[in-house]
Amino acid sequence: MRFFSDNAAAVSQPVLDALAAANSVDTAYDEDALSQRLGVAFSEIFETDVTALWVSTGTAANALALAALCPPHGAIICHEEAHIQNDECGAPEFYTHGAKLLLGTGDGAKLRLQEVQRITASIRDDVHQMQPHVLSITQASEYGMIYSADEVETLGDLCQSRGWGLHMDGARFANAIAHLDCAPADITWRAGVDILSFGCVKNGGMSAEAMILFGDAREKAAEIHYRRKRGGHLLSKGRYLAAQILAMLENDLWLTNARAANAGAKLIAEAAPDRLVYPVEANEVFIRLSADEAASLRAKGFDFYDWGVGEARLVMSWDQREEQIRPLAEAIAEL
């Protein structure tokens, strides 16, 4: 059984069904009926008027968002473990045309106010240094930890006072909402988020993510449409991306799937409370595991990534059922 990444999971059946249902001629690009419905659908979920665009990857969503918020000569503050720093091969630098990522530290890949202030204080306000224009946080974080509404708001207030944009990489936004059980608005626009990368692919989608623009950031929509096109991300048959996203939203499939993945992670966490490197809040579990222990689990057919020395990362997917995960939980407990 594979616990490498939710990235590799299968696609939810309603998403596949939606592709089949969309399979007739319609207007190209994003002027079809489905693409046009995205804004309405997300405005309902977020309880405010938002602008929503589809893109094919979370990397594209993040990079386009950052490019809209940061000039080429500006800087983006993020955690040193952030996906935008470590796993996008410079997509943020590419789309922003050379902005610099200023890196902070913090437990569980979360950025706290004090750390952001420390980074800010280290920047001289002169033309020789790239000035911060955006703060980017990941929800849930790369270590499966979740910012509370208050935590986001604290950072959002700082951004507002500084005139920075606030970007949220929500590749696992659904897992965060499933954990917090709060209104999506509470950890986004109400807390100061300008643009959200709303992840679908890790959560049962196939090839569609959504960018959500809140408040003033909606004025950037036209510019982002141009940037998306020149990034090669304006699919001619965009309705098949819109269809996927709408299927994820329909009947709260996005929450159902996320809850399932989170529950899987909880199973593991409960089986190995003393091994946890971070509290388990979403669908990722980081545990202390010696090389021998790792080998023993692998010998039993469980696949996962080592994470540095003496640790392992286990990611649960929306489609892994309890009876598939329990054997792993038991195997860990028995170590």
Q: Which residues make up the interface to its own copies (CB under 8 A)?
A: 2, 4-5, 7-11, 16, 19-20, 23-29, 55-57, 59-61, 63-64, 71-73, 86-91, 93-95, 97-101, 127-131, 201-202, 206-207, 223, 225-237, 240-241, 317, 319
Pick the closer one to its own copies by CB: 99 or 159.
99
Least spacing, CB of residue 95 vs its own copies, in Å: 8
Least spacing, CB of residue 217 vs its own copies, in Å: 16
Pick the closer one to its own copies by CB: 232 or 273.
232
What end-to-end distance do the CA atoms of the chain give, in Å? 18
Least spacing, CB of residue 222 vs its own copies, in Å: 8
Pick the closer one to its own copies by CB: 86 or 256.
86
Least spacing, CB of residue 186 vs its own copies, in Å: 28
Pick the closer one to its own copies by CB: 182 or 230.
230
Pick the closer one to its own copies by CB: 30 or 194.
30
Pick the closer one to its own copies by CB: 92 or 192.
92
Position 64: which residue type? L
Least spacing, CB of residue 143 vs its own copies, in Å: 17
Pick the closer one to its own copies by CB: 56 or 296.
56
C-alpha 143, offset from chain centre:
12
| Nearest-angstrom CA–CA distance, 245 and 230 | 22
For residues 54 and 37, is the Cβ–Cβ distance under 8 A? no
Least spacing, CB of residue 31 vs its own copies, in Å: 10
Least spacing, CB of residue 154 vs its own copies, in Å: 26
Least spacing, CB of residue 140 vs its own copies, in Å: 17
Pick the closer one to its own copies by CB: 82 or 155.
82
What 3 state SS string does the chain have? CECCCHHHCCCCHHHHHHHHHCCCCCCCCCCCHHHHHHHHHHHHHHCCCCEEEEECCHHHHHHHHHHHHCCCCEEEEEECCCHHHHCCCCHHHHHHCCCEEEEECCHHHCCCHHHHHHHHHCCCCCCCCCEEEEEEEECCCCCCCCCCHHHHHHHHHHHHHHCCEEEEEECCHHHHHHHHCCCHHHHCHHHCCCEEEECCHHHCCCCCEEEEECHHHHHHHHHHHHHHHHCCCCCCCCHHHHHHHHHHHHHHHHHHHHHHHHHHHHHHHHHCHHHECCCCCCCEEEEECCHHHHHHHHHCCCECEECCCCEEEEECCCCCCHHHHHHHHHHHHCC
| Nearest-angstrom CA–CA distance, 199 and 254 | 9
